[in-house]
Amino acid sequence: MRHASAGRNGLVMRMWVLTGSVAVADSVFGAVFITHMLDRGLSPAVIGLLLVLPAVTSIGIEAPSGALGDTYGHRRLAVGGHLAWAAGLMTFALATGPAVFAVAILVWAVGLALYSGTVVALVATTLNATGQGGLIAGAVRGSEVTRWSAAALAALLVVLGVPLTGTSVLVAASGVLLLLAGLWVVVGWPESSVRSEVPVRASLLLGARVVLGPGGRGLVVLSVLTSVLLGTLILTWQPFLTDVLEIEKRWLGLALFVMSVGAAGGAALSRCTQRLDPAVVLTVLVPALGLSLAAVALGSWVGAAAYVAAEVFVGWSLATLAVWAQQHLPDGVRATGMSILGTVTGVTIAVTNGLVGIAWQHLGLLTTLLCFGAAVALLAVCAGSVITVRARRARPRPRDLTVDTSPVAADHAGQRGPT
């Protein structure tokens, strides 16, 4: 028994180490890739067009990628994702023109789509197969804390690394880190012990029915609302600090560190609400996130503090959603369901970026934050309340349960005595 426990905990620890490594690479790249393209002479309009490519790739590849993992093995898909992602970042570091940047972004997006959700699915199915499914929620929650903590570390690396090495070296180093992570998965990770026996297309349809079926609709709705607010936060925090507070751009890395620490703290706080219905928890968290973004409209350092509060609620909400998803999805379509959810949230963020950009241009940054934050907070209260009420009505009531009236049952009841 001790050996089985050690092996189980070892697999969870490996997931956390891998999650942290990938998060460092992804966060370093995310902090500098816009600046890198601008430094290579690309115009904002061209950059905007190039950034449409990941959304298209998400729709075309990420959704079916989970079905491929469930059918052919999650480890294979994770390795392929790491290698493609690494190749994309290395090409990006060397690119000088729009055509090469387009190729790099496409390869990067393909790798990210293949990797998304596969490692968690591999660990969850392995734990279930060995009778240790009770560890899944803690493993997923720990993975979220690790991801945000690694993002905070990456922010410090950007602050220190950009003046010393430049963006090209940082992006290339991120690609090397992903390559090493992929090789580690090859030699140090088991393959999934559970495989789907249905064809990929049928697995994709089954996954969609599970995600959109009873118990899954609430997960999708609250994931979409959280993604709207996350997309709004991602697009607006940098211009708020540089344009409203007039902070120098070199301090953005430090600001990202503070916000990432807030998100890591929020993910850790999700442990406090682990015994509660996730729909109820999110009915509180998502409106709080929306109101925090609306409070940014107050401007000055109050607005900056509101962004940090929003990051805490982001980390808390995403950790709660991640655990909920793993509890809802069965092993046979676990990666498929995660890929479908990833596609939905990715497209939501892309559409949100476009809408927020248009509103920002016509209404101004602070008014846009007030409108989007308050509107989504109100929608989340309404949607969460409806989801919670419907879920409670769907649960069997005591009077609906079948009562055993056989003589044996009566005898046992008499032996228990009066109650």
Greatest C-alpha distance within the chain: 86
Give CA–CA dist 119/7, Å, rounded.
16
Q: Round to whole Å and give the CA distance between 310 and 218.
A: 22
Q: How far apart are CA 163 and CA 161, in angstroms?
A: 6
Say whether pLDDT at 397 is over 60: no
Provide the pLDDT confidence category of residue 417 given band limits of 50, 70 and 90: very low
For 45-103, the pLDDT digits (tens) are 777 678 778 777 767 777 777 767 777 777 888 899 999 999 999 999 999 899 999 99
Give percent above pLDDT 70 in the chain.
87
Question: Residue 45's domain is classified under what CATH number?
Answer: 1.20.1250.20
- Cα–Cα distance between 371 and 297 in angstroms, integer? 9
pLDDT tens string 106-154: 999 889 888 887 888 888 888 887 788 788 888 888 888 999 999 889 9
With respect to residue 417, please indicate whether it lies within any of the assigned structural domains: no
Which pLDDT does position 416 carry in this prediction? 36
What is the number of other CB atoms lying within 10 angstroms of the CB of residue 251? 13
What's the pLDDT tens digit per position in 277-324? 999 999 999 999 999 999 999 988 899 999 999 999 999 999 999 999
pLDDT digits (tens, 9 = 90+) for 2-18: 334 333 468 889 999 99
Q: 355 and 363 in contact (C-beta within 8 Å)? A: no
Asked, for residue 415, whether it belongs to a domain, the answer is no
Residue 9: per-residue pLDDT: 62
Domain count of the chain?
1
Token pair of 294 as six digits = 């609306």
Query: What letters, b where the CB count within 10 A reaches 16 and e where it falls short, cover 313-335?
Result: bbbbbbbbbbbbbbebbebbbbb
Q: Does a structural domain hold residue 411?
A: no
How many other CB atoms are found less than 10 A from the CB of residue 258?
Answer: 14
In a domain, 149, yes or no: yes
In a domain, 127, yes or no: yes
Query: Structure tokens of 76?
Result: 């294979």
pLDDT at 383 over 60: yes
CA atoms of 244 and 366, how far apart (whole Å):
9
* 405 within domain boundaries: no
Residue 175 lies in a domain: yes
Tokens 């209260």 found at: 381
* 343 has pLDDT over 80: yes
Domain range holding 118? Answer: 2-394
Whether 399 maps to a domain, the answer reads no
**pTM of this structure:** 0.77
